[in-house]
Structure 1
Amino acid sequence: MQRESTDKIQRVLGIYKKLISGNIVNKVEEANNYGVNERSIQRDIDDIRSFMESEVGRTGIINNVVYDRCCKGFRLEQLNSTELSNGEMLAVCKILLDSRALLKTEMIDILDKLVESCVSKKNRKEILDLIQNEKFHYVEPRHKTAFLDTMWKIGQAIRKSQYIEIDYEKPGNKEKIKRKLKPVAIMFSEYYFYLTAFISDEEARKNFDVINDSFPTIYRIDRIKEMKVLEEKFFIPYRSRFEEGEFRKRVQFMYGGKLRNVKFKYKGDDVDAILDRLPTAQVIDEGSDYYTIKAEVFGKGIDMWLKSQGDKVEVIG
């Protein structure tokens, strides 16, 4: 009995080694090699399958022994659970390229790492071929600022509820201002990453027409020239926590300000595009050639967007 057990262990390990080496396992050949019948080889393969299934939770890799009719034998089919499908990877690459949010060297480096780590070897060339032209012609943002390290430090300050001090370059006159802030979120919109934060400096708050603890101020991260994370921490009660998802639904072009209600008539062809652009929008009336829409929004960015729609939009209130 012990001899039979030893023989089975050696047989299973031999078949397992062949499979993980990428070889085809033929039942007839293996039965002849080991001096057993084909049923024994089938049981060995079933044991290997059970072992591989039990390992999925630990390794994250799905291994399956499948019968290949063309090769007339069993082979190992492996799927990494962290891999993306071809369609998923292509979508991610296209979104990143279209964002134009990073320097060209950073963008290409990230894309190459994503394809290398999230796509199976046999599919990598197809994905890279499909994005090669856009990679070559990629236009980086005009600010030409590397800010990923700064953004990560901001993220850590948000997570630990630490104050930050920044030297910020205002648009237009390039004036530099200093702010002490409670950082609450990092957001992306229209080619740029933004920090949303509450101003802590009471003196600075006096210069704002609209500011209170309900409305955060917004800063483009690439315009932060110097930043220091302070040891001092702030506290925001759970009931008053900033919810960037809800804020994002209501802000256009990252212009902050008071919460407003707008109502307008839309006379274009694609109302879905309007409802996607304004996630809080609702159609409250519909005629033969128009939709009446209302939405809840933050700040003045909505005014810019409404004007950009030309005669397709008539503002009611």
Structure 2
Amino acid sequence: MKEKNESKEKNKTRNEDKNEGKIIRVLEIYTRLLNGAVINKEEEAERYGVAKRSIQRDIDSIREYLRRTDNKSGVYDLVNYDYRKKGYCLEHIYKVKLKSSEILAICKILLESRSMTKREMTDILDKLIECCVPLENQRVIKDLILNEEFHYIEPQHKTVFIDKMWNIGQAIREHQYIEIEYKKMKGKETVTRKLKPVAIMFSEYYFYLTAFIDDKKLREDFNILNDSFPTIYRMDRIHSLKILKEKFNIPYKDRFEEGEFRKRIQFMYGGPLRKVRFKYSGISVEVVLDRLPTARILHEDESGYTIEAEVFGEGIKMWIRSQGELISEVSYR
């Protein structure tokens, strides 16, 4: 009996030593990864006197630890195999992941935008969740958007244009002219335009191309006083696109700033820059200030607010009409 107990104690001691040896080995490998070392399985197996599969399990344990670590600094560590270095390296990925709450917000915004076909929207939502959300939270987010995704109503045009939009973005970046065939809203006529593309924008369910017309005679048919005002085209109505080798130049001081343009345009209707002044008698003036980012309150009294804003084009008239009796005393200059 005494010999049996002694044998059990020895086995227990050996197992403890083995476990302790494994812990030390994993910590040493992890420390060397942190210090920039390349971990080769064959070399590590020889170093510690274990099988290569033991080293692989150690690396998998480190990967699992890193996956479970909630790093709130926005820096994420990954252990990847580098074929050039013939070993495992630690990579620091900065802000590669969004929080689950942020992904949920993005999914809700995308669904509300109704900007793409149902298939496109579903594919993008699935990829966002699978790539950016920890496995244990993926089901939660899918459940929270399930009903809205199921009842999603795609836009009437049913056009797939994301790749076309990317190509236009490349042309904007490289300052290349483009030629498009565009189906006009009125009369259903298809026209050809040579353009200087300057921005891609989104508003009210649609993506738009903002561009300058190259033909001076054509510009006379538009509500454009000079080269300062671009024309606007709905992406889904661009039937064909050709990226031209010819490049254009816009001096830096004259560059188109879509952020400033976006503040001043309503419903993506182009036209000259002007100021509008009106009286608002609604309950919440925040509705106006959020809709018109350039708006400022000139006067406030019991009857309401006198507001002035700087705007582009005719879209402001559509918005004012939509407010009914809440807006009065409108003037433009």
- Pairwise TM-score range, normalised by the shorter structure: 0.7 to 0.9
Deviation at 1:273, TM superposition (A): 1.3
Aligned to 1:215: 229
Output the amino acid matched with 1:132. Answer: L
Relative to structure 1, the CA distance from residue 17 to residue 254 in structure 2 (aligned partners, 3 Å threshold; closer, same or farther) is same
In structure 1, the residue corresponding to 2:96 is in which secondary structure?
A: coil
Are residues 1:251 and 2:271 paired?
no
CA distance in structure 2 between the aligned counterparts of 1:139 and 1:185, rounded to whole angstroms: 27
CA distance in structure 1 between the aligned counterparts of 2:265 and 2:271, rounded to whole angstroms: 9
Relative to structure 1, the CA distance from residue 17 to residue 132 in structure 2 (aligned partners, 3 Å threshold; closer, same or farther) is farther
In structure 1, the residue corresponding to 2:267 is in which secondary structure?
A: coil
Deviation at 1:103, TM superposition (A): 0.5
Deviation at 1:212, TM superposition (A): 1.6
In structure 1, the residue corresponding to 2:147 is in which secondary structure?
A: helix
- Once the two structures are superposed, the pairs formed by residues 153-302 of structure 1 within 5 Å of their partners are 153-302=167-316
**1:111 alignment partner, one of 125, 129, 140:** 125
Output the amino acid matched with 1:224. Answer: I
Deviation at 1:170, TM superposition (A): 0.3
In structure 2, the residue corresponding to 1:261 is in which secondary structure?
A: strand
Output the amino acid matched with 1:12. Answer: I
Aligned to 2:320: 306
CA distance in structure 1 between the aligned counterparts of 2:26 and 2:321, rounded to whole angstroms: 72
- Once the two structures are superposed, the pairs formed by residues 6-85 of structure 1 within 5 Å of their partners are 11-14=23-26, 60-61=75-76, 81-85=95-99
- 1:252·1:301 contact (CA, 8 Å) conserved in 2? yes
CA distance in structure 2 between the aligned counterparts of 1:81 and 1:253, rounded to whole angstroms: 34
Aligned to 2:85: none
Q: Deviations over 1:139-159 (max 9, x none)?
A: 000001111111011000000
- 1:62·1:81 contact (CA, 8 Å) conserved in 2? no
Aligned to 1:86: 100
Aligned to 1:137: 151
Deviation at 1:209, TM superposition (A): 4.0
Q: Deviations over 1:111-141 (max 9, x none)?
A: 0000011111100000000000011100000
- 2:223·2:271 contact (CA, 8 Å) conserved in 1? no
Deviation at 1:274, TM superposition (A): 0.8
Output the amino acid matched with 1:112. Answer: D
Are residues 1:100 and 2:93 paired?
no
- 1:267·1:291 contact (CA, 8 Å) conserved in 2? yes
- 1:196·1:218 contact (CA, 8 Å) conserved in 2? yes
Percent of counterpart pairs with the same letter?
Answer: 58
Deviation at 1:296, TM superposition (A): 0.1
In structure 1, the residue corresponding to 2:303 is in which secondary structure?
A: coil
Are residues 1:151 and 2:137 paired?
no
Output the amino acid matched with 1:118. Answer: C
Output the amino acid matched with 2:96. Answer: T
Q: Deviations over 1:195-229 (max 9, x none)?
A: 00000012322322434210000000100001100
Deviation at 1:301, TM superposition (A): 0.2
- 1:179·1:204 contact (CA, 8 Å) conserved in 2? no
Deviation at 1:90, TM superposition (A): 1.2
- 2:223·2:272 contact (CA, 8 Å) conserved in 1? no
Output the amino acid matched with 1:314. Answer: S
If the length of structure 2 is used for normalisation, what is the TM-score?
Answer: 0.73
- The Cα RMSD (Å) is 2.4
Relative to structure 1, the CA distance from residue 95 to residue 11 in structure 2 (aligned partners, 3 Å threshold; closer, same or farther) is closer
CA distance in structure 1 between the aligned counterparts of 2:321 and 2:23, rounded to whole angstroms: 75
Query: Structure 2 regions of 5+ residues with no counterpart?
Result: 1-19, 31-61, 79-92
CA distance in structure 2 between the aligned counterparts of 1:306 and 1:262, rounded to whole angstroms: 10
If the length of structure 1 is used for normalisation, what is the TM-score?
Answer: 0.77
- 1:83·1:120 contact (CA, 8 Å) conserved in 2? no
Aligned to 1:3: none
Output the amino acid matched with 2:108. Answer: K
